[in-house]
Amino acid sequence: MNALFALANRATVEDIRARLSDPPSYSAVRAMLVRLETKGYLRHQEDGVRYVYSATTSHTAARRAALRQYLRVFFDGSLGQMMTALVRQEAWTDEELDRLRTEIDRARKGRKQS
């Protein structure tokens, strides 16, 4: 999906393979795209003998869904646990920490106003 979004949400199997480091075979990529299409994440259009794939959802919606799945699998759905792990494991600059604090303060203000 990331490769597809990086290609402006319109790509062939070969386009996607070219975006991957150490790409699997053409057949393996095609099989994955077929599975994603069967699950409703992709659709295709025929362009001569080639299939051109596109996502059925926006990049933002796909990112949110992936993040929710990651949260469920690795942190039992706890956003606090995930954020704590990220803050503790990364080498943050003071500027990055200041930006995080600003976002936390903004979230607090938004919550209080609701």
Helix/strand/coil for 52: strand
Taking the whole predicted model, whether its pTM rises above 0.85 is answered as no
Determine contact, residues 15/7, Cβ cutoff 8 Å.
Answer: yes
Determine contact, residues 95/87, Cβ cutoff 8 Å.
Answer: no
Map out the domains of the chain as residue ranges. 2-55, 78-114
> What is the residue-averaged pLDDT of the chain?
93
Across 48-62, 83-97, 100-114, the highest mean pLDDT is recorded for 48-62
User: Any alpha helices (H) in the chain, and if so which ranges?
Assistant: 2-6, 13-19, 26-38, 59-75, 79-89, 94-113
Helix/strand/coil for 46: strand
Interval 44-51 mean pLDDT? 95
- Model confidence pLDDT, tens digit, residues 63-103: 998 899 999 999 999 999 999 998 898 789 999 999 999 99
Domain 2-55: give its CATH code.
1.10.10.10
